[in-house]
Structure 1
Amino acid sequence: MRRAKKLLRIIFGRTTFVITSLFLQVALLGIILMRLTQYSAYLYGFSVFVGAVTLIRILSKEGSMSMKTAWVVPILLLPIFGTLLYLFFKLQPGTHKVNRRLQELTRKTDRFLRQDRDVLYAYGRSEGTGGNIAVYMNRFGRFPIYDETEVTYYPLGDDFFPALLSELERAEKFIFMEYFIVDQGEMLDSVLEILRRKAKAGVEVRFMYDGMNWLTHLPYHFPKKLRREGIRCKMFAPIRPVLSSMQNNRDHRKICVIDGETAFTGGVNLADEYINRKKRFGHWKDSAVRVRGKAAQSFTMMFLQMWNITETEEDDYRRFIRTENVLAGEISGVDFQAGKDHTGDDGAGGECAPEPPEEKSPGTADDPEFPGFVMPYADSPLDNVQVGEQVYLDIINGAKNYVHIMTPYLILDDPVLVALKYAARRGVSTVIMMPHIPDKIYAYLLARSFYRELISAGVRIYEYEPGFIHSKTFVADDEKAVVGTINLDFRSLYLHFEDAVYLSRCPAVRDVERDFSETLEKCIPITLDDCENFPLWKRVAGSALRLFAPLM
């Protein structure tokens, strides 16, 4: 009886309804097109011509060849349907509208995200490269690099959870939370209990989550329920039974900001499996990071940019700036807007590094008490600038001794694949840690299709035997690390809204490496023999799936 009820809930549930609606729309579109071409040779000829022009346009555009191939294959196999599907997704007015709105909000928050010239100069000196990645991130993302920020790394969601609750209890002014997965259980209940109390005490509480959650995790009217309790709540891009390219761009970020002083990010969502209160795919290995100090301001602005996309009345951003930070009208530093800084240097030219400050900044990387440099950043799928991938490539290409990577997925485009193989071939210890118990069989088969090529080049691959790795961390040479939400797959690098924090010469970098080394003891190495002995049908399936990897 219980099984029958569960089956009925699945059949008549909202997820089934949405998926069925979308499938029927695609099928109807295909049937109409096929019928039209049967009755008109001219229409068919015109469609083929449009398909050829579309292919030329795709191949000539700047961007990932792997992403292009994902469209070229269906257009060649089904010229009419593939062409119209591509045009449908690329010409969506909703996507362009969201991008314009986000760009407008980014410009309005620019004044609160100016790069401090002294900090950038000190970072450039410590790197010996002029701080190239920091300059790039300022010019193409408006993400300053900060000093005077304390960083704490949490190697498990189990460690992160009590720290999150403790910081939420300390909130006095505002709490901003933005998460990809929010599911009912102990973790969410504990967080909401604090948020309700804080809202009643006058703390401004905003809670935003990705619209995918209403299909499987939360009731559709969950935001309305929280609003009645004093918590401002909304879904980002709710899933609707209507074809839209925007539904492919999910909010994969995990951000919590408290009073503009403290911020959290990492791989941990608000669901019990992330803190091992619920068993899924064995032991769940995840990580998170807390920043306290100047760098929290970037997370505040990241959240407000996304929150205000659908708001008609914008915030007074000055309300959310730490009092000790410089306020609007008094902010000084390097402005990289439109590819230029305040000195008038052209962003496309070679003089990217700022001029030395007139006076030496109070802290330097050579000072043992100096806490290092911290750069929070976000990545949008709508601006055609893959800052998340560029940071990863910068770490891989700049590594001298080692680069260690934890990632749940390994679906690589050419630049990352080439960089990993080159790092190993030039003598850098290049190690990738993957799950042994996958959450998605197709993603695991795709990842395995890359193993042989990487291992043959000298990259070492290990799988976490106790269960599933969801952590997204890079660490190199005891000097640089990234902790965030960005997987090594196409969805994270090209299709989702993401965030992370880049650490340079922070004490926490060694904590990230220590976690990697300790976790490695629980892993099993993958060899070329293992690749050969992997079942043939799985190898064939993984290779075939690579054609569609950019869509997965």
Structure 2
Amino acid sequence: MKQIFKKIFGVLTSRVVIIGFLILLQLVWFLILFFRLLQYATWINTGLVILSILVELYIVSKPGNPSYKILWLLFIGSIPVLGCLMYFLFGDKRPSRKILRQLHRGRRAIGSRAASEDVLGQLPQRMAEIGAHLERCGFPMYQNTQVEYFSVGDEMFPRLIQDLQQAKHYIFMEYFIIADGVMWESIKALLKEKAAQGVEVRFIYDDVGSIGCLPKHFRKELTEAGIHVMAFNPFRPALAAVMNNRSHRKITVIDGMIGYTGGLNLADEYINQKERFGHWKDTAVRLYGEGVYNLTIMFLELWNAFCKTEDRCVKYRPSYYHSKPFASDGYVQPYCNSPFENEALAQEVYLDLLSQAERYVYIFTPYLAIDDEMQHALCMAAKRGVDVRLVTPGIPDKRMVYSLTRSYYEPLIRSGVRIYEYTPGFIHAKSYLVDDTIGVVGTINMDYRSLYLHMECAVLMVGCSALDKLKLDCIVTMEKSHRVTLQDCKNRKHSLIWQAILRTISPLL
């Protein structure tokens, strides 16, 4: 009995519960104040209704995703006054001036991001166009880089451990989720060991991503071991839209010349040491060479912005500790998507790949919560004869999002898109492969949060030998999966009203 009470007390005094209670308290206070104002002053109600109409006109006229606009227009139209006030609290996605100043300072400290040589001129025009767009956004394309592809986290983890053991100068790591277990304990022990040897170790984690699973005394333990730690956008008990903006990136940089990214967080399910939702399939890439520099810049810009440092990248360049030329294997272009920019870069890359595909597009995605533009691009690619295939989870991690994902199946299938559900379990991979020649592996889901609200990263690969392994993985994965038919859609079809509700609230899921 004593243990039960101790467990209940631990839950009630946890950070999640306390912050949730404080936010709920603010919301209740806000609603009470709001309704009392309406009760005693009808002119306030009239004024706020007029303001709501003006806000709706503002939402319609401003640039942005139509799905997000529809959500708020319906909310404000249904509950004009409350909807308007909630929009001011949560709806306007513009970052605060403080965050913009911090990010600008982080970039200014880094300086120029230009590559040492122009490689775009060596590519066919259709491939160079995507690369040129990313380069204009500050992410150069590189040769002199080798790429290793991992089809599951079980393959990547031993390789990562081996590279961490060999680190001599510095280790940068940035992850969305950290949880106790085999994976984190192994990495933590190595980070402590390397810090004791004088290796510079920095670690960024997302405060919300890890809020329910962060190991006890995480920050204190790492700091005492000489590891520098930063929590991105710490979660505070405040009603504020900026709490929606998270860092969903997964980055490891070792000595400037080795870099990892992909869908894997630092928790045991990602390497199948712990079973959640069946077999957990994820993908990742290891870069070795000059292309790692973009990942280094992403990390240092964020570190400079929020730790108030001014680290420049000279001593963190790939060649700083590696005097010999790196071997080349195609072209790589790591890039970052950010809610603090005016451009939805991840969405634009995906749309470009679909528009330029000639033979096929294979896609792994755990979530399918797409807007009209992305749905149209998928359908049009299939209609013009491109073999478009999507692989989604067979066992979901979130039931409501799973229902939303399935709501898109029928219109896509009718247009010629082939959809497969990964029968062995949950596919968390975020990968694109186009015509054997272009691929993307990273952290970017096909949902609103990933494309518009989160910081994300990925690697665009052109002509790399790793694409052969990615293609083989796509084929093997589809063979293990169930191909969804129109009859399947009809057999498990939800009501049209429920689908419409899910589509409307999809930016919040």
Mapped pair 1:436 → 2:432: no
User: Aligned pairs, how many?
Assistant: 507
Shift of residue 92, structure 1, vs aligned partner: 8.8
Residue 397 of structure 1 aligns with which residue? Answer: 355
- d(CA) in 1 for partners of 2:365, 2:93: 32
Residue 340 of structure 1 aligns with which residue? Answer: none
Mapped pair 1:170 → 2:169: no
Mapped pair 1:243 → 2:239: yes
Residue 23 of structure 1 aligns with which residue? Answer: 24
Partner SS state of residue 263, structure 1: strand
Mapped pair 1:487 → 2:484: no
- d(CA) in 2 for partners of 1:297, 1:17: 40
Match of 2:498 among 528, 538, 541: 541
Which stretch shows the higher mean deviation, 490-499 or 311-320? Answer: 311-320
AA at the equivalent of 2:475 = S
Deviations 1:234-264 (A, max 9, x none): 2112222222222111110000000100100
AA at the equivalent of 2:507 = P
Shift of residue 174, structure 1, vs aligned partner: 0.4
Deviations 1:18-48 (A, max 9, x none): 2222122123212211211222121111111
Match of 2:483 among 519, 525, 542: 525
CA 1:45–1:220 in 2, change beyond 3 Å: closer, same or farther? farther
- d(CA) in 2 for partners of 1:128, 1:91: 38
Deviations 1:480-533 (A, max 9, x none): 100000000000000001000000111111211110101111100111111111
Judge conservation of contact 1:223–1:235 (CA < 8 Å) in 2.
Answer: no
AA at the equivalent of 1:89 = F
- d(CA) in 2 for partners of 1:77, 1:540: 17
CA 1:544–1:421 in 2, change beyond 3 Å: closer, same or farther? same
Unaligned stretches of 5+ residues in structure 2: none
AA at the equivalent of 1:232 = H
AA at the equivalent of 2:504 = L
- d(CA) in 2 for partners of 1:394, 1:94: 27
Counterparts in 2 of 1:176-255, with a 5 A limit?
176-213=172-209, 215-219=211-215, 221-255=217-251
- d(CA) in 2 for partners of 1:534, 1:230: 54
- d(CA) in 2 for partners of 1:419, 1:110: 37
Please provide the CA RMSD for this pair.
2.2
Deviations 1:340-367 (A, max 9, x none): xxxxxxxxxxxxxxxxxxxxxx99xxxx
Deviations 1:68-92 (A, max 9, x none): 1121111111111211121223679
Shift of residue 396, structure 1, vs aligned partner: 0.9
Partner SS state of residue 420, structure 1: helix
- d(CA) in 2 for partners of 1:110, 1:85: 39
Partner SS state of residue 521, structure 1: helix
Match of 1:276 among 272, 279, 286: 272
Residue 137 of structure 1 aligns with which residue? Answer: 134
Residue 499 of structure 1 aligns with which residue? Answer: 457
- d(CA) in 2 for partners of 1:47, 1:411: 33
Shift of residue 13, structure 1, vs aligned partner: 2.9
- d(CA) in 1 for partners of 2:427, 2:92: 37
Partner SS state of residue 183, structure 2: helix
Partner SS state of residue 226, structure 2: coil
Match of 1:373 among 326, 331, 342: 331
Which stretch shows the higher mean deviation, 220-229 or 178-187? Answer: 220-229
Counterparts in 2 of 1:349-360, with a 5 A limit?
none
Residue 288 of structure 1 aligns with which residue? Answer: 284
Shift of residue 220, structure 1, vs aligned partner: 6.7
Unaligned stretches of 5+ residues in structure 1: 328-361, 364-368
CA 1:77–1:326 in 2, change beyond 3 Å: closer, same or farther? farther
Shift of residue 3, structure 1, vs aligned partner: 6.0
Mapped pair 1:319 → 2:319: no
Residue 335 of structure 1 aligns with which residue? Answer: none
AA at the equivalent of 1:128 = Q
Judge conservation of contact 2:437–2:464 (CA < 8 Å) in 1.
Answer: yes
- d(CA) in 1 for partners of 2:174, 2:14: 26
Partner SS state of residue 211, structure 2: helix
CA 1:505–1:448 in 2, change beyond 3 Å: closer, same or farther? same
Shift of residue 414, structure 1, vs aligned partner: 1.4
Q: TM-score, normalised by structure 2?
A: 0.95
- d(CA) in 1 for partners of 2:7, 2:376: 47
Judge conservation of contact 1:262–1:290 (CA < 8 Å) in 2.
Answer: yes
- d(CA) in 2 for partners of 1:324, 1:218: 34
Shift of residue 384, structure 1, vs aligned partner: 2.4
Shift of residue 143, structure 1, vs aligned partner: 0.3
% identical equivalent positions:
41
Judge conservation of contact 1:261–1:292 (CA < 8 Å) in 2.
Answer: yes
- d(CA) in 2 for partners of 1:87, 1:435: 36
Deviations 1:194-215 (A, max 9, x none): 1111111110000111102553
Counterparts in 2 of 1:60-99, with a 5 A limit?
60-89=61-90, 95-99=96-100
Judge conservation of contact 2:177–2:210 (CA < 8 Å) in 1.
Answer: no
Residue 121 of structure 1 aligns with which residue? Answer: 121
Match of 2:344 among 362, 386, 400: 386
Q: TM-score, normalised by structure 1?
A: 0.88
- d(CA) in 2 for partners of 1:64, 1:93: 13
AA at the equivalent of 1:78 = I
Which stretch shows the higher mean deviation, 143-152 or 317-326? Answer: 317-326
Mapped pair 1:452 → 2:410: yes
Partner SS state of residue 264, structure 1: strand
Residue 105 of structure 2 aligns with which residue? Answer: 104
AA at the equivalent of 1:425 = K
Shift of residue 101, structure 1, vs aligned partner: 1.9
Partner SS state of residue 126, structure 2: coil
Judge conservation of contact 1:175–1:256 (CA < 8 Å) in 2.
Answer: yes
Match of 1:307 among 303, 306, 313: 303
